[in-house]
Amino acid sequence: MSSAPWYLNAERPSLKHQRKWKSDPNYTKSWYDRGAKIFQAEKYRKGACENCGAMTHDAKSCMERPRKKGAKWTNMHIAPDEKIETFELDYDGKRDRWNGYDASTYARVIERYEARDEARRKYLKEQQLKKVDESKQMDFAKVEKRVRTTGGGSTGTVR
């Protein structure tokens, strides 16, 4: 089916889905610059978000927690504007789950968890040694003596 039938134009396939797809040579697998900020304002600007003061969104779509008194009224703690990017992604780029993934960030996560586990192991080992030391000291310091009374036998502790 890759070649056209003899009764049609024989130099190329007749159906679009049979033609060879060529990807755009200028296509780059770029992704959003996460957390990038553009401009930090000193005071509230007209048309900005009433909650945080950024120009890139409105109060309805603000991702900060709702303030008791927004930046519009206090003129303090104005949030910087976010960097807004648009991409021309092809069919595969739109559906690529791993687009923009950076393996070095995951390496940092692994290092943090390994450090936490090492600290936990060290702490548990110290607690175990401390527990053993306390039990040895208690065994030597505690002397139990049997005291006979008319009401029955009882145990008294002498240190």
Residue 6 lies in a domain: no
Domain that includes residue 64, residue range: 23-101
Please state the domain count of the chain.
2
The residue assigned the tokens 């080992």 is 125
What is the three-class DSSP state of 144? strand
| Same domain (yes/no): 113, 91 | no
What is the three-class DSSP state of 145? strand
Please tell me the predicted confidence (pLDDT) of residue 145: 59
| Integer Cα distance of 150 and 30 in angstroms | 91
- R_g (Cα) of the chain, nearest Å: 36
> What is this structure's pTM?
0.44
| Integer Cα distance of 113 and 122 in angstroms | 14
Residue 64 lies in a domain: yes
Residue 153 lies in a domain: no
57-102 pLDDT, tens digit each: 999 999 999 999 999 999 999 999 999 888 788 788 888 888 878 8
| Same domain (yes/no): 93, 32 | yes
